[in-house]
Structure 1
Amino acid sequence: MGKHGLLTAFKKYRFFFLVILLVFVLAGCGGNNTPIDSSSTGFFDHYFVYTFSLLIKKIASLFQGNYGIAIVLITIIIRFVLMPFFIRQSKNSKDSQKKMAVMKPEMDEIQKKYKGKSSTEDQLSMQRELSEVYKKHDFNPVKMAVGCLPLIIQMPILLGFYYAIMRTPEIAEHSFLWFSLGETDILFVVFAVLIYYLQARVSLIGMDETQRKQMAVMSFISPIMIGVVSLNAPAALPLYWAVGGMFMIVQTLIIKKYVH
């Protein structure tokens, strides 16, 4: 059960793993903050970062140079584009969990049957019997393992927008709400951290007590890491995090209520 439990946890809480992976990447690669322009080389810089930078400038120009509104709108657009992936994966996850619940007694019996038997022949026999159970219930464990692949594919989009914010110098020259987009604002950092903490807690709604205890630590990891990165970045970044986090709260509530 250990392997299947790990796969289930990885798939069910893939959003948190993605956030943590993103934050690690951003923290480790934050040194490249040179302004992005048409002369920037490299596939990622030219087709992702520069494209998002142009989009930020274009939308800001539609709102009298308000780069804060541009960041908010693009963040929401990106989240809407990515939302079908989350909905589909959530549905697949629920289907897999239902099948696992039905299969569990049979799997437990098989594992009990081969408990303490470590020979290659016994292990192969156990795997064959487990495979028969999977086939009987039309369950594909590999599908669970690759269920996060669409989210990994989305990373260039999220990273491209992040670096566009960090490497578009015009953003730092403007303000939004009460803060300068080019300077660290402690109050807004705290706000972004609270939003992601709330998002993490919302994701625990509907879980049984065991699952809630297992995943409670995730409620603290991603907000803390986001806070650490944001404390060393201009306020435009936590604005991006906060808007994305609020969208994810609404999306999570919708999925939990309507996706079965």
Structure 2
Amino acid sequence: MEKQSVFSFLKKNFFAPALLFLAGCTAAEPIHADSSGFFDQYFVYPFSLFIKGIAGLLNDNYGLAIILLTVTIRLALMPFFLRQTRSSLQIKEKYDALKPELTAIQNKYKNKQSQNAQLEMQRELMKAYQKHHINPLASAAGCLPIILQFPILIGFYYAILRTPEISAHSFLWFDLGSRDFILTVIAICVYFIQFKAAQIGMSVKVKQQMAIIGVISPAVIGIISLNSPAVLPLYWSVSGIFMIGQTIMLRRIHAAAEKNKQPV
């Protein structure tokens, strides 16, 4: 089950920055009503309109508009994370209970390499799964919520990158269209803290295996931020802070659920 945890951790903490890195390497032409392409028309352009509309209500405060939209989108996606986390924890509990039985079956056929023996082992393994009501394909189905979130998050990312009005405004101490070293440092720190928060509850062995990710993820964010307008590290910082809070909340919910399961 550590392998499954490692894979889930990588999906959340490595693939997202990697996708943003690839996205940052692509052309960022201004988005407008006549932009061609399904994704531009139905994801990027609507988000761009939302950003401009909310900024207009806030006296052209594009920084605050992006913060509000980022939090709103993350709140809207939270039920997907809650369902995914709950499903992952339930599957893990079932696998933990099943693990001794699976190990016994595998040891039983350890020295039997014939085709018939291997088929018999697979039949016994499937019976064990069925007895504990486990679907081996359930972990793959658990990726669906993540896949469904990608168009929304990437669409919003591109809307920020391709809305030219944003670059003409400032927020707090920085210009949204210029690079900002302080905000880059903040984004790096946020992603490092997010990495640490995601490690809560992991075994020492898994933490050691994932140590390199704690360097790569913030480093990728830092490199992109140093070569991007400040509006992007602003978005990543706000999104990262939200994810830290969400992770801590989910851990507490799980801890409370585990406590309630204990016999009095």
Q: TM-score, normalised by structure 1?
A: 0.92
Aligned to 1:57: 52
Change (3 A) 1:196 1:37: same
Bigger mean CA deviation after superposition, 101-110 or 220-229: 220-229
Cα deviation digits, residues 1-22 of structure 1 (max 9, x gap)? xxx6534432355322442442
Q: CA deviation at 1:237?
A: 0.4
**What is the deviation of 1:186?**
1.3
Larger mean CA deviation between 213-222 and 157-166 belongs to 213-222
Alignment of 1:118 onto 2:103: no
**1:257 maps to amino acid:** R
Alignment of 1:95-110 (within 5 A): 95-110=90-105
Q: Pick one of 199, 202, 212 that aligns with 2:197.
A: 202
Q: For 2:243 and 2:76, how far apart are their aligned partners in 1? A: 13
For the residues of structure 1 that align with 2:5 and 2:247, how far apart are their CA atoms? Answer: 18
TM-score (normalizing by structure 2): 0.91
What is aligned with 2:16? 19
After TM superposition, give the deviation of residue 127 of structure 1 in Å: 1.4
Within-5 A mapping of 1:162-201: 162-201=157-196
Question: SS at the partner of 2:137?
Answer: helix
Asked if structure 2 preserves the Cα contact closer than 8 Å seen for 1:179 and 1:235, the reply is: yes
Specify which of 131, 143, 164 is matched with residue 136 of structure 1.
Answer: 131
Measure the CA separation in 2 of the matches of 1:70 and 1:8.
Answer: 35
CA contact (8 A) 2:51 2:69 kept: yes
Deviation string 1:200-234 (CA, Å, 9 cap, x unpaired) is 10111222222322223322222111112222210
Q: 1:25 is matched by which residue type in structure 2?
A: L
The CA deviation at 1:183 is 0.8
Q: Secondary structure at the match of 1:205?
A: coil
Mapped contact 1:7–1:145 kept (Cα < 8 A): no
Find the partner of 1:86 among 68, 81, 84.
81
Superimposed CA distance per residue, residues 155-198 of structure 1 (whole angstroms, 9 cap, x where no aligned partner): 11111111111111110000111111001111111110110100
Map of 2:71 onto structure 1: 76
Identity over aligned pairs, percent: 49
Gaps of 5+ in 2: 258-264
Aligned-pair CA distance for 1:123: 2.1
Q: Within 2, Cα distance between the matches of 1:149 and 1:17?
A: 18
- Please report the RMSD computed on the Cα atoms of aligned residues, expressed in angstroms: 1.6
